[in-house]
Amino acid sequence: MIRLIGYFFGIGVMLALVVAAGVAFYIGTISKDLPDYEVLARYEPPVTTRVHASDGALMAEFARERRLYLPVQAIPDRVKAAFLSAEDKNFYQHPGIDILSLFRAVATNVQNIGSGRRPVGASTITQQVAKNFLLDSSQTYDRKIREMILSFRIEQAYSKDRILELYLNEIFFGLGSYGIAGAALTYFDKSVNELTISEMAYLAALPRGPTNYHPYRHTERAIERRNWVIDQMVANGFVEAEEAAQAKAEPLGVSPRRGGTYMEAGEYFTEEVRREMIARYGENALYEGGLSVRTTLDPEMQLQAREALQNGMIRYDTLRGFRGPIAEVELGDDWGVAVSEVSGLADVPEWRPAVVLEAADGSVSVGLQPRRQASGELVEDRETATLAVADMEWALRHTVDGQRVRASSIGEVLQPGDVVYVEEKADGGYLLRQVPEVSGGMVAMDPHTGRVLAMVGGFSYAQSEFNRATQAMRQPGSSFKPILYAAALDNGYTPASVVDDAPITIRVGNDVWEPKNYGGDFAGPSTLRMGIERSRNLMTVRLANDMGMDIVAEYAERFGVYDKMLPVLAMSLGSGETTVMRMVSAYAVMANGGRYIQPSLVDRIQDRYGKTVFKHDQRVCHGCNAASWEEQAEPELIDERDQVLDPMTAYQITSMMEGVVQRGTATTLAELGHPIAGKTGTTNDSRDAWFVGYTPDLVVGLYVGYDQPRTLGNGATGGGLAAPIYKEFMAEVLKDKTPVAFRVPEGMQQIAINRQTGMRANQGEGGVIMEAFKPGTGPADSYWVIGMDGATAERAREISPQASEALISGSGGGLY
């Protein structure tokens, strides 16, 4: 018996050795090509890039995987407890594999053989980290064993907290979100430390199968799984029974956070930042790099700019009548369903699609588009509203077969089933609205830093993503004149220099060009100040010819209006194409004392670790970071930007453009009661209407025009269309602010001159204005007219009988 026992024991030992050898060989074989688990130490997952306004408000997020990486120390203990209870309650005790759970899983799988059920895995959090980071998701025993081996190695190399941190930041939660921080924002629009017990338990239920526990498609199943997690938290001592009962009684409360842009009216600005980031760092850095971008946007000013530009477009558009409904639907039994399928303007929340239910002589009854719940389902209530015909008389002028006609009643314009936009009035009731055909762009900038504070690229980003503030190439028209006049003032002319405003003919080869003033009149010899205040084209052409277009082109390029300007006389009237952003940047040069301005939409960019990788303000400040005060000199902020215009010239052109507001083509702005310098612009055939202006601390420019350039109509000018938009915007910006005068450079002389002749004024003389002169310059001692012919000489004698006949012969160069 002893020998038999020994025999069987020997056989058993041999079999055990063979099995052990086989297992060792098998493990050795599958371990040869195991991934390097040390990559976990260098783990940098794709992280969401977040864009913020200047006040820190979140503007937008860009990500392929919506993830925000959180260190484990920043994750609340109860949140960690929810996941441990749901996934691996023995996480802090086992060596990477939970043996008891593994045996239970094996037993369950044996019992389920032939049942068709999916095998139970019993994976620990460490095993899930090994699978998610280093392996694939195949359901094989080989993969499972490789996962176990890696789990042992990971546990030996990293702390439990590090493993849990990797897990909570990597896992997929559904709805495009990854990681616990991203999931909290996506499902509940909350940070992790704001989650309730119910919410954290639901999130802990999701990693097993986000689609299985979808909050809307499988609500009951999701609640059941969430409640199971809460029970596990109670069983593991993380939550009291009373708290658990209260949490289980709550609904899921999921409120999905929309992606993309979060700031109202900021869509054009955000898209411009997105393009800039891709150009600077590439798409991967934007969508995976976890950058933190602090922009220059002023949210309040952005809203004011959008409202002012939209109101200006609407005012212009409604004068041209109604062009018809945006859609037509069958009313049927439930008009709410029909009108819900019509897409509205998501970025114009004030407007709402509505279907006409009845159009009577005195009013129009409409059904408002039903709002949608978070689940996407329509609300059951059907709201109706009434539009008074008195509020929509403009629509009586409407378009029929391309022709504008006037209807006798609103019933001829709107029919039941027509879908239109309506806007609720502040005092109740609704207004009929339509998307304007005309468009435009607007930019507001800090002239001292180039920081773009507001930018509007059109009426609605949802309607058109084309940014007319930065992408539309338009003729600036007369708004280019200050660039030319600044060049003249920088090259020997003064605001009192006199140029002939009279008909002129330019011959180039066989071509003849005869520019004209707006309105067709002319004023004869006039000072440069009068020329810019009244926007005289004939004077401008003569001045450009006298000065030389090469100089004008040089200054236009210095100011950044054009990259390369063709030095021909027609360009002196703004016939070249540029953008609103470039024009605002050029005016900023004049507003800030002649220094070049580099416009910027971004103040600072930080990488995922908080290191600053870009900063717009490159000025150097010596002594700003002194450790202590030792009676040293005050810190000096050194501005190394290029001086592209003499500071005194900058003040002279500013003073002349103040006259545009006080006496010229933009007198409506004088009602604001603040020092404002600016210039209107109207292009050929009134295709574009411009205004660019500035206070000492803010430059704003805009244009209004059709995307496919065509006339805006007779009488459409920068002073009539663009300046009122600027006025509406600045009225809000300057509200409750004390007027600030433009700074006069030291050494500037103020001399009284005759407005007409530009000569020094005599005591008691009428028509006098104070003019700014540089040291060594002043009014002419005798009357001199640039670009004069014989007829001009006769007019000059009438203006100044004492004028010298010799001087009147002038330097006109034969242009007349």
Catalytic site positions:
87, 478
* Contact in structure between 458 and 439 (CB atoms under 8 Å): yes
CA angle (19 as vertex; 16, 22 as ends), nearest 5:
150
CB neighbour list of residue 568: distance below 8 Å, 6 or more residues apart: 508, 549
**Which residues lie closer than 8 Å to 299 by C-beta, 6 or more apart?**
53, 54, 55, 57, 263, 266
Q: What does DSSP assign to residue 743?
A: P
Report how far residue 563's alpha carbon sits from residue 714's, in angstroms, rounded to the nearest whole number: 33
Instruction: Give the pairing type, strands 498-501 and 785-786.
Output: parallel
CA–CA gap between residue 411 and residue 408 (Å, rounded):
9
Contact 177, 186 (CB under 8 A): yes
Helix, strand, or coil here: 170?
helix
End-to-end CA distance of the chain: 137
Instruction: Tell me how far apart the alpha carbons of residues 707 and 478 are, in angstroms, rounded to a whole number.
Output: 20
**CA angle, 100 as apex, 94 and 106 as ends, to 5°?**
125
Dihedral through CA 153, CA 157, CA 163, CA 165, nearest 10?
Answer: -150
Which two three-digit tokens encode residue 362? 């005195």
- Alpha-carbon Rg for the chain, nearest whole angstrom, is 37
Q: Whose CA is closest to 66, among 288, 261, 266?
A: 288
Using DSSP bridges, classify how beta strands 49-52 and 292-295 pair: parallel, antiparallel or unpaired: parallel
Q: Please report how the helices 77-87 and 197-205 are oriented relative to each other, as an axis angle in degrees rounded to 10.
A: 40
Which residues are CB-contacts of 540 (< 8 A; sequence separation ≥ 6)? 481, 484, 485, 531, 572, 573
- Picking from 366, 392, 364, 369, the residue whose alpha carbon sits closest to that of residue 379 is 369
- The number of residues making up the chain comes to 816
- Distance (Å, rounded) from C-alpha 582 to C-alpha 701? 10
Q: Which residue has the tokens 């084209």?
A: 537
- Helix or strand (DSSP H, E) at 433: strand 430-433
| DSSP percent split of the chain into helix, strand, coil, nearest 5 | 40, 20, 40
